[in-house]
A = this chain, B = another copy of it.
Amino acid sequence: MTDIGKKKATIYDLSMLSGASPSTVSAVLNGSWRKRRIKEATAQLIQNLANEHGYTANLQARGLRSSRSGLVGLLLPVHDNRYFSSMAQSFEAQVRSRGQCPLVVSACRDPEEERKVVETLISYSIDELFIAGATDPDGVHTVCEKAGLKHVNIDLPGMLAPSIISDNYEGARMLTQAIIERAQEDGPLSPDDLYLFGGRNDHASHERIRGFRDVKRASLGADPDVCIQPTGYSPAMTARAFEAFYEGHGKLPRAFFVNSSINLEGLMRFLALHPHETFADIIVGCYDYDPFGSFLPFPVFMIRQDSEAMITKGFAILDADRGPPITHLVRPTLVPPRTALTGPLDALKDIE
């Protein structure tokens, strides 16, 4: 609290002030002083001085020496999407409750970028890494392996490290079932009336498409390939797919499954160009939850993936050390239309 504007105090400063040696000061301040048989009185003295001077350890120095940094990384595809930002929020909370510092970075679904970003994180000697939604989890794995960095995959599985992912197949089945049932309330549904938009060549998309097709075939008796429209994870591409369908048919499909909220943004772009009365009767399923998406002017069933549980599980696996590269499934939940779930936001202090 003194020394405003001055350099930060170090253990050497406190060593001078207290008359103790730097190593004693260090031991006192990092808690290992009992083990080192430091007198209680000495510890007290040093701790008081530390408080008085607002001492905080230089974590770079500590990290350098101990080759641990207290940093835990989370690699995301993108930030600005409710699924990932909510994951970031849970991640932060859990990392901090473990006394470490979260480091959330995104890599734009670019395999090259993913590796580069992880290299950077490794250069900061991060202790653990959560790899969420990586395009190339195994490429990232190699980089981590080389550096001896403990890591898990979240959301998209890899072959080489433990993975925790949504049960995409089950989730897709639930979602498809829900869409179908709801659509059938308005009259019989033909296989051509039910489409899927979005997704690409990744594990999650495959599983979701598989779930969709299985349920569709079972319920509607057929499942033409044309009803699967993989557009990648891009709003623009998705919008184009809707536009193309619309041009061909003069309407949208009666019901459809959208692979993620990012693709759902593509639907918004399409809708912006057309009067919404035209589409008042569509039924939509979206594999992701977004509180506003749930209240669009047509029924939107959503899937809420339990990112909090995934993170928790991830830590459990890392703590258990050396887990086998097994894939763990976390069950998502179906969210009916017009549902406002609570989330991490509710933990905010808000005393007016």
- CA of A119 to CA of B230, assembled, Å: 46
A151 to chain B, nearest CB (A): 14
Copies in the complex: 2
CB of A17 closer than 8 Å to a CB of B: no
- CA of A30 to CA of B269, assembled, Å: 46
- A: residues with CB less than 8 A from B are 3-5, 7-8, 54, 56-61, 63-64, 69, 71, 77-82, 84-86, 88-89, 92, 101-106, 108-110, 119-120, 122-125, 145-148, 200-201, 230, 232-237, 239, 262, 264-265, 268-269, 271-272, 276, 290-297, 338-340, 342-352
Q: Which of B58, B269, B296, B351 has a CB less than 8 Å from the CB of A64?
A: B58
Report B-chain residues with C-beta under 8 Å of the C-beta of A349.
108-110
Report B-chain residues with C-beta under 8 Å of the C-beta of A4.
145-146
- CA of A342 to CA of B134, assembled, Å: 23
A347 touches B148 (CB 8 A): no
Known contacts A235-B342, A345-B235, A345-B265; A297/B294 CB under 8 A: no
- CA of A5 to CA of B105, assembled, Å: 24
A350 touches B61 (CB 8 A): no
- CA of A108 to CA of B264, assembled, Å: 28
- CA of A80 to CA of B290, assembled, Å: 10
A348 touches B294 (CB 8 A): no
B346 touches A59 (CB 8 A): no
Known contacts A58-B64, A81-B85, A92-B105; A350/B291 CB under 8 A: no
Q: Which of B272, B290, B296, B351 has a CB less than 8 Å from the CB of A339?
A: B272
A86 touches B80 (CB 8 A): yes
Of chain B, the residue at the smallest CB distance from A261 is B292
Q: Which of B71, B79, B119 has a CB less than 8 Å from the CB of A88?
A: B79
A294 touches B268 (CB 8 A): yes
A146 to chain B, nearest CB (A): 6
Report B-chain residues with C-beta under 8 Å of the C-beta of A106.
89, 92
Report B-chain residues with C-beta under 8 Å of the C-beta of A85.
79-81, 84-85, 88
A242 to chain B, nearest CB (A): 12
Of chain B, the residue at the smallest CB distance from A343 is B80
- CA of A271 to CA of B292, assembled, Å: 11
A120 touches B108 (CB 8 A): no
A234 touches B293 (CB 8 A): no
A157 to chain B, nearest CB (A): 19
- CA of A254 to CA of B71, assembled, Å: 50
B79 touches A79 (CB 8 A): yes
- CA of A124 to CA of B125, assembled, Å: 12
